[in-house]
Structure 1
Amino acid sequence: MDLASLRPVYEHDGPFATVYLEGRAPGEDAAQQVRLRWRALRERLEADGADARAVDAAEEAIRTGTPGADQADGRVVVAHPEAGVVLDERWDAALGTGDAAYWGHLPELGAYGREAARAVRALVVLADQEGAQVRQEVVAEQHTPQVRAEEDVAGGAQEGVHKPREGGLSHRVIHHRAENAVSRNAQDVADHVARTAESFHPRVVILAGEVRARAAVRDALPASLHVPVAETSRGGAGAGASDEALDDEVLRIAAHESTSDAEHRVEQLRSGLAHDRAAEGGRAVAAAAEMGAVDTLLLEDGAAAAREAFLLRHCADSSATLAVAPAGTGLKDGVGALLRFPLEQSTPG
């Protein structure tokens, strides 16, 4: 997660009200359930001395939402007494974590940041022999993949892509032309994927659809793409194809990439600690954050990080990224950082 996206929140001096609604299966009384849940959260904020203006702003945002969607996806809202709502996003923790409300000098964005950091940007290509549907998706845990953009790409081949069944010289010529048409269309799709990747910055490209078409697209992707490519036989672009099956496969592939990335970050941390290019523990990471030295902030999954709200605020100011280390990594105080420069270089003398 690029923490610079949180800068608009930190443009305001605190205090802030931070409210989390846990994702739950919506029922027929979803609106009533959201009202009851909000009432309990409001009472917590008022007990903590929250400014009524911030509480009212948060309530207005929650009441004007879509109850069923809020229950299914979960939600995080941050409100300021003067600026009103400064953050309103989808969010979900593991079922059973519960709703939460905080009033403090800094917003409590650790849970939101952790989920966003685990999310994977994926380019999903549903290929057929004449082109493809290309989706830009953001895949977060326990959510249906969120489609940011969707484009239909038609290949430029003028020849037909279907091969004749009979033999003979003329049929071999048609067969060859059909092969060339598939290759030409696949190249056009691959070029579109490469151009889209330059702006979307996917973590993985997922090829689905017809076997022959997706294999042709894979072969046509440029070596300069530098993005992992995964294939799946589930789902497809044709009528009657199962979007649910494809979504399940996208979730599976994204989870694998997220885990792989987290493990790689821990390896980088261990190596960096040996060469003064990493820090571990609340005090050391806080010092690095104040100096603008943090390139990637690492929070351990399932472990409370020391001074988490403080670290997120300072790392957002310096445009650091946020990553989540796997549970059980054993980071000191639940936090580590990859550094832009060794800390001793920033200290005179």
Structure 2
Amino acid sequence: MKLDWIRPLLGRKAPFTTVSIDVTREGGRADREVEERWRSLHRTLEEAGTPTSLLSELDEALGRPVRRPGARGRVIVATDDEGILVDRLVRVAPVTSTATRGSVPELLLASLYGDENVDHVVVLVDRSGADIVRQGWGAADVAWHATVEGGHDEIENVRAGGTSEGRIENRAIDSWERNAEEVAAALDGLVARDAPEAIVLSGDKRAVSLVEAALGQRAKALAVVVQGGSRGPGAKESAFQQQVEEALEACRAKRRERVLEKFEEHHGKGGRAVSSLADVVDVLRKGQVEELVVSAEVAQQTVVTGSVWVGDDPFEIAVSRAELEDLGVENLRELPASVALLRSAIAQDAGLTFAPAERSPREGVGALLRWHDATTPREGLTSLSRPTAPKATVNA
């Protein structure tokens, strides 16, 4: 999972206000229930000393309902000085809506919910062009719709008889191909610019096939074809959305499996993957991490990894205070490991993958590395399994 959405929080001045709220809107009282949840959280933040100006900004943001298909949760992070920095939708509603203030934003659980998101575009294609829809996963205020109309309008293959029929058919096919190439070029540009994780293609079967064939290598690798979509009226929207959800679920599973297989393959075989809190902290400090692997139980705080020491720079991280003092690091403070690891991973453009309990790394955390050298921790194959000794609970 990409962590770009958290990057705006790096280097910001505390305190942070983090709101994680269920925004599910189903049933007759849906809007009222969301308002009641926020009213309760508003009181909590008010009692915690949140400035009136920030509360007003949050009131305004949460007073604008986000009606996006599949949206169930919303995560907002703000600071007193700069207001709202992150406003993100997630597909899975938080078990309990919460609002907190602290020296760091509480984002690991939000990231777990966010792991259900797949940043994607839906492309509805016909022989004259396409509608491209991006639904805003996960920025709550970002969604757009674009239309690509090909410049070639000889799209009807009319039976005329005689030699003219062949010419008309050839012109029609040529028009379809040229229009498909224009749609494909637009999607290639979107992939280069915005890097979505999936392109869901649907619509006229012949046009979809032509667009898919015309895509560049990067976009073609992201393309998934589903049935039931249409640019025109008459499509069964609920059936189509179900097809899209099934395609995205397959993307989620494939994304997670790809990382976990790579992690398991390299763990204990030359240093390309490490586990245990101490080893993960070591490689984070050196900027080696490609993907942070965290047990879903850690994010849910049913298993906790303890705490670590950090400085102002996200790369200033160690298991002990003495280690950072020896490096001359100042302004030291102790943070929950779940917070500090995520902070450091973001700073080095690492991704984040949650592992199910049966595939969890040792002590609930691991890392897949970009590079390794003689100083990289090297573990035996048996260290992948988690210790059985109970751990004390530490709230992030």
- Structure 1 counterpart of 2:207, from 213, 220, 225: 213
Could you give the per-residue CA deviations for residues 218-266 of structure 1, whole angstroms, max 9, x where no partner exists? 2222345452322122121112334444333222211111110100000
User: Corresponding residue for 1:22?
Assistant: 22
- Structure 2: how far apart are the matches of 1:231 and 1:120? 16
- Structure 2: how far apart are the matches of 1:343 and 1:106? 32
SS in 1 for 2:24: coil
- Structure 2: how far apart are the matches of 1:20 and 1:38? 10
SS in 2 for 1:285: helix
- Structure 2 counterpart of 1:313, from 331, 334, 343: 343
- Structure 1: how far apart are the matches of 2:216 and 2:65? 43
The alpha-carbon distance between structure 1 residues 146 and 73, as it changes in their structure 2 partners (threshold 3 A), is farther
Matching of residue 9 in structure 1 with residue 9 in structure 2: yes
The alpha-carbon distance between structure 1 residues 43 and 53, as it changes in their structure 2 partners (threshold 3 A), is closer
- Structure 2: how far apart are the matches of 1:136 and 1:39? 31
TM-score, scaled relative to structure 1: 0.82
SS in 1 for 2:292: strand
- In structure 1, list runs of 5 or more residues that go unmatched: none
- In structure 2, list runs of 5 or more residues that go unmatched: 306-336, 378-396
- Structure 1: how far apart are the matches of 2:183 and 2:194? 16
- Structure 2 counterpart of 1:60, from 19, 33, 56: 56
Question: Identity percentage over the alignment?
Answer: 28
SS in 2 for 1:53: coil
User: Corresponding residue for 1:283?
Assistant: 278
What amino acid maps onto 2:359 in structure 1? T
After TM superposition, give the deviation of residue 107 of structure 1 in Å.
1.3
- Structure 2: how far apart are the matches of 1:249 and 1:139? 18
- Structure 1: how far apart are the matches of 2:142 and 2:159? 39
TM-score, scaled relative to structure 2: 0.73
Matching of residue 87 in structure 1 with residue 86 in structure 2: yes
After TM superposition, give the deviation of residue 105 of structure 1 in Å.
2.7
- Structure 2 counterpart of 1:267, from 261, 265, 278: 261
- Structure 1: how far apart are the matches of 2:164 and 2:33? 70
- Structure 2 counterpart of 1:201, from 195, 198, 210: 195
Runs of 4+, deviation exceeding 6 Å: none
- Structure 2 counterpart of 1:169, from 150, 163, 182: 163
Q: Which moved more, 1:291-300 or 1:37-46?
A: 37-46
Q: Which moved more, 1:230-239 or 1:295-304?
A: 295-304
CA contact (8 A) 2:273 2:366 kept: yes
- Structure 2 counterpart of 1:114, from 107, 112, 115: 112
The alpha-carbon distance between structure 1 residues 35 and 166, as it changes in their structure 2 partners (threshold 3 A), is closer
- Structure 2: how far apart are the matches of 1:130 and 1:102? 51
Matching of residue 325 in structure 1 with residue 355 in structure 2: yes
What amino acid maps onto 2:272 in structure 1? R
- Structure 2: how far apart are the matches of 1:232 and 1:221? 17
Between structures 1 and 2, the one with greater helix share: 1
After TM superposition, give the deviation of residue 127 of structure 1 in Å.
1.2
Matching of residue 292 in structure 1 with residue 287 in structure 2: yes
The alpha-carbon distance between structure 1 residues 333 and 146, as it changes in their structure 2 partners (threshold 3 A), is farther
User: Corresponding residue for 1:339?
Assistant: 369
- Structure 1: how far apart are the matches of 2:67 and 2:188? 35
Higher relative contact order (CA 8 A, sep 6+): 1
SS in 2 for 1:328: helix
The alpha-carbon distance between structure 1 residues 263 and 60, as it changes in their structure 2 partners (threshold 3 A), is same
- Structure 2: how far apart are the matches of 1:278 and 1:3? 20
Q: Which moved more, 1:256-265 or 1:14-23?
A: 14-23
- Structure 1: how far apart are the matches of 2:11 and 2:116? 25
The alpha-carbon distance between structure 1 residues 233 and 8, as it changes in their structure 2 partners (threshold 3 A), is closer
CA contact (8 A) 1:300 1:327 kept: yes
The alpha-carbon distance between structure 1 residues 98 and 226, as it changes in their structure 2 partners (threshold 3 A), is same
CA contact (8 A) 1:135 1:147 kept: no
- Structure 2 counterpart of 1:152, from 147, 152, 168: 147
SS in 2 for 1:120: coil
Q: Which moved more, 1:29-38 or 1:247-256?
A: 29-38
The alpha-carbon distance between structure 1 residues 17 and 276, as it changes in their structure 2 partners (threshold 3 A), is same
SS in 1 for 2:157: coil
CA contact (8 A) 2:17 2:101 kept: yes
